[in-house]
Chain A
Amino acid sequence: MQRRVTFDNRLLPYLLLAPQVAVTLVFFIWPAAQAIWQSVHLQDAFGIRSEFVWFENFTHVLSDPNYLDTLKVTVVFSVAVTVLAMGVALLLAVLADSKIKGARAYKTLLIWPYALAPAVAAVLWMFIFNPDIGSFGRALRALGYDWDYRLNGGQALAMVIMAASWKQVSYNFIFFLAGLQAIPRSVMEAASIDGAGPVRRFLTITFPLLSPTTFFLLVVDMVYAFFETFGTIHALTQGGPGKATETLIFRVYQDGVVNNDLGGSSAQSVILMVIVIALTAVQFRFVERKVHYA
C-alpha cells in the first residue's frame, strides 16, 4: 500500500519544492546547458567572436590520439582507485569491527584523513615521496632504487592512485563499519555454531549482507575517481610526466582554464557527463540486481 500525503493548499507543495528546484536549476541545469552551448561553438578567450561549429569540437577531441591516451589513463586510474579504496577500507572495517582493545581509537584515527582537503593531502604526499625533499623518496634513492616520479610515468601514476585512494579509504571505512554493525549478531553466531570459519562467514554472510553498502560505495567512489581527484593530481604531478597522470577531468581544466579553449573543454565536459551517466545507469541496471537489500 502506498502512503500519500495530501496538501490542502495547492500552491504549498510547489513552494516547498521551490528551493530544491532553484538550487538544481542554478547549480546544475544552467551550467550544464551552458557547457552544451559552449561545446558547439568556437570562441576566443574574451567571448568577443563566437562561431557555431556544429560538432567540430567533439570530432577534434575524439580524433586526438592524446585524448584516447587520457581516456586509458582515466580508466586505469578510476578502477585502481575504486578497488584499492574499497578493498583497504573493507579490510580495515572488518578488523576494526572485531573485539579488540582500543577499537574506538583505531576507528577515530581511520576517519581522520577524510577531513583533509585533497590539495593539502597531496602536499603531504609530496613531502613523503618527492625524490629530493621527501623522506620516503630520499630513502628509496638511498637504497639504490631509481625513484623519480617526475620522469617515470608508471611511478607517477602509482603515486597519484595511492594518494587518491588513501583519501577515500576513510569515507568507505565509515560506511563499511556502519554496514558491518548492522549485521545481526545472531546470524553470525548461528554460523559459528554450525562450524563456519571466519573466512567462510565473511564470504557467505558478511559480504552479501554488505552488498547495498558496497554498491553505494562503488557508485560514489567511481564518481569520486572521475571528478574529485583533480586537486590531488594538480598538486602532485600536474598530469605529467608527459601525459602519464592526465585524467579526463584534469584535461577539462587544463584546456578550459589554462588554455582558454572553452569549446574543446566544454565538449570534453559533455563527453565526461555522458560517460558518468552511462556508468551509473549500467551500475544501477546490472550490478544492483545482485544487491541484496535486507
Chain B
Amino acid sequence: MLTRRKLALLTGAAATSALLFAATLPGTALAQQKTVVDFWHGLPQPLGGQLEQIVKDFNDSQQAVQVNASYKGSYPETMQAAIAAFRAGNAPHIVQMFEVGTATMMAAGPAVKPVYQLMQETGASFDADAYIPAVKGYYSSKDGKMMALPFNSSTAIMFYNKDAFQKAGLDPNKAPTTWPELIDAAKKLKASGSSCPFTTSWPTWVQLEQLGAIHNTPFASQANGYGGLNAELKIDAPVYVKHVQTLIDMQKDGLFKYGGRDNKPDALFPSGECAMIQGSSSLRSRIIKEATFAWGAAPLPYWPEFANNDPKNGIIGGAAFWVMTSPKRTPAEYKAVSQFFTYLAKPEVDAKWHMDTGYVPVTLKGIEIAKAQGYYEKNPGADVPAAQLTRTPTTENSMGLRLGNLPEIRNIIQEELEKAFQGQQDAKQALDASIKRGNTVLRNFERANKG
C-alpha cells in the first residue's frame, strides 16, 4: 500500500515537472520536440539490455519519436507498477506484461487500448496473420482481434544430458518422445547412478497447462476461458490425474525430483545434477553458458493413449506489449506508439531477437529468415520450440488460457502438488483441491470484473 502510494506520488511529481518543463519551452522548440513514449519492461539483464538495444535502434531509425525504455523489476512487479501508475492517472504508454496477466489486461477495459484498434485509428498497416497461430491465439480477443503486440514468446520443451544418456546405455541422439519411454529412460539413468533422472521447471505451466494443450484436453471450461469469465477448472480429466499420479510415483521411486516452484529448478540441469529437465525454451542460453557436457533439446513427450499419437501444438509463455490509456494521452502519442509497434512487428527485428536471445520467433516470416540464415544448422535443437508451437493447427484447447488471476491459480496448483509430493494426498485429491480453490479465485475475478 505504502509503496504503491509513494510510487503514485513520485510518478505524479515526475509527470508534473515534465509538464512544467515543456510549458516553459518556446513554441518553436516545442514543435520540433520528439514525441516521447514511455515503455516499461520486466526483463532483467542480459535480456533487458538486448531489448533496450532494439529500442535504441528504433530511436536512431527516425526523428519523430523517442521511446524511453525502463526496467521495472520482475514481470509481476512491472504489472504492479503499471496498475499503480494507471490508478494515479499516469500509466506508461506501453507496458510489457507476462502471458498469465493476459486475462487481467483484457478485462481491464478502458485501461487498455487494443493493438488492432490502435493500428486502425493511426492508419498503420498491421497483419495479425503474420504471427504464429499459437501466438496470435493467445493474445486475440474472442472474435479474433489482436489485443496486444506479441514480442518475446517461449514455450516448454525438454533438455537432456547426452553424456548421462550414453552412460546409462541410452541412445544419446534419441530423446524419449512418450511418457512411457521417458519413464524407461529415467529407470536406466537411475540404475547408472543418476541421483536426479528428471525434473521440471514451472510445474503448473509445463506439467498441466502444456499437457492439456498437447493432449487436446481443456484446462478449463468455456474454451479455457476464451468464452467468458464464468469458466471453471477442469483439470480432473483422466490425462491430468494419470499424469500427476505418474509424477508422484516417479518421485517416490527416485525417478523424478521436485526442484521447487517456478523456474527455481532451472539450475539443476546445467549443473549436471538432473539428466532431463522440462522447462522454458529460454533456458537454452543459460545451458549454453554453463553446461560442461553434451546436451540435446527435444519436444515435450506425450501419452500415446491420450494423444492418439497426434500430439497438438504446445502453448506459449513469455510476454507481450500492451498499450495503456491515460487521461492526458494525445493522438500524436498513440501515433508514436503505433510507429514503434510497426517497427517491432518487422520480421527482421523478430528474427534477430529470436537468434540473439533464444526466444521463439513470433512471426512466420521470422522463422523463415532464421532458417535462411542457417541458424538452425549452426544451432541444432534451436528449432524445437518453434516446431512444437507450429506442428498442428491450434485447437480450442491448444490456443492458450484466458483465466483471470492465473498467477494465483498457478500458485495454488503448485501448493497442492507440493502437498502431494510430500505424501499428504494423491493426484486426484490434489487436483480436486486445486479445482475447488482455483474456482473460488475465478468467481472472485468474475465478480470484480463484471459490468
Contacts and interface: CB of A to CB of B under 8 A. Distances in A.
Interface of A: 27, 30-31, 34-35, 42-49, 51, 66, 132-133, 150-153, 238, 240-243, 254, 256-261, 263-264, 269
A258 B412 CA distance: 12
A27 B107 CA distance: 32
Given A150-B260, A260-B83, A132 B415 contact: no
B218 to A, nearest CB: 23
B415 A243 contact: yes
Given A42-B448, A151-B421, A153-B422, A35 B407 contact: no
A258 B407 contact: yes
B5 interface: yes
Nearest to A57: B444
Contact of A260 (B5, B405, B418): B405
A66 B440 CA distance: 13
Contact of B405 (A42, A51, A259, A263): A259
A238 B261 contact: yes
A34 B2 CA distance: 10
Interface pairs A-B: 3 shortest CB-CB? A241-B418, A259-B408, A242-B419
Nearest to B251: A151
Given A34-B1, A46-B83, A242 B424 contact: yes
Interface string B89-118: 000000000000000100111110000000
Contact of B83 (A27, A31, A45, A151): A45
The contact size tier of chain B is 35 or more
Contacts of A257: 76, 80
Contacts of A30: 5
Given A151-B422, A258-B407, 12 more contacts: A42-B448, A43-B448, A45-B104, A46-B86, A46-B108, A46-B111, A238-B261, A240-B261, A256-B1, A259-B408, A260-B104, A263-B448
Contacts of B449: 44, 49
Contact of B258 (A34, A150, A238, A269): A150
Given A42-B447, A259-B405, A132 B267 contact: yes
A47 B82 CA distance: 12
A133 B264 CA distance: 12
B415 A240 contact: yes
B380 interface: no
A150 B257 CA distance: 11
Nearest to A154: B422
B164 interface: no
Interface in B240-286: 258-261, 264, 267-268, 271, 273
B273 A49 contact: no
B301 to A, nearest CB: 24
B420 to A, nearest CB: 9
B268 A258 contact: no
Given A152-B422, A257-B80, A31 B448 contact: no
Nearest to A150: B260
Interface in B185-229: none
29 contacts: A30-B5, A31-B1, A31-B5, A34-B1, A34-B5, A43-B448, A45-B83, A45-B104, A45-B108, A45-B448, A46-B86, A47-B87, A49-B450, A51-B447, A66-B437, A132-B268, A150-B259, A150-B418, A152-B422, A153-B422, A240-B260, A242-B415, A242-B418, A242-B424, A254-B411, A259-B405, A259-B408, A260-B405, A261-B444
Given A48-B108, A242-B424, A133 B267 contact: yes
A245 to B, nearest CB: 11
Nearest to B260: A150
A246 to B, nearest CB: 9
A34 B4 CA distance: 12
Contacts of B111: 46, 48
Interface of B: 1-2, 5, 76, 80, 83, 86-87, 104, 107-111, 258-261, 264, 267-268, 271, 273, 405, 407-408, 411, 414-416, 418-419, 421-422, 424, 437, 441, 444, 447-451
A240 B414 contact: yes
A46 B422 contact: no
A259 B5 CA distance: 18
A157 B2 CA distance: 28
Output the residue of A151, A260, A263, A264 with the most chain B CB within 10 A. Answer: A260
A12 B5 CA distance: 31
A166 to B, nearest CB: 23
Contacts of B415: 240-243
Nearest to B3: A257
A132 to B, nearest CB: 6
B102 to A, nearest CB: 13
A42 B104 CA distance: 15
A273 to B, nearest CB: 12
B122 to A, nearest CB: 24
Contacts of B1: 31, 34-35, 256, 269
A35 B407 CA distance: 23
A243 to B, nearest CB: 6
A135 to B, nearest CB: 15
Output the residue of A46, A66, A133, A260 with the most chain B CB within 10 A. Answer: A46
Contacts of B441: 259
Contact of A258 (B76, B110, B450): B76
Contacts of B271: 132
B107 A44 contact: yes
A49 B258 contact: no
Output the residue of A49, A132, A256 with the most chain B CB within 10 A. Answer: A132
Nearest to A56: B447
B59 to A, nearest CB: 29
A152 B258 CA distance: 11
A242 B109 contact: no
Contacts of B437: 66
A235 B169 CA distance: 40
A254 to B, nearest CB: 8
Contacts of B260: 150, 240
A42 B444 CA distance: 9
Contacts of B259: 132, 150
Output the residue of A42, A47, A238, A259 with the most chain B CB within 10 A. Answer: A259
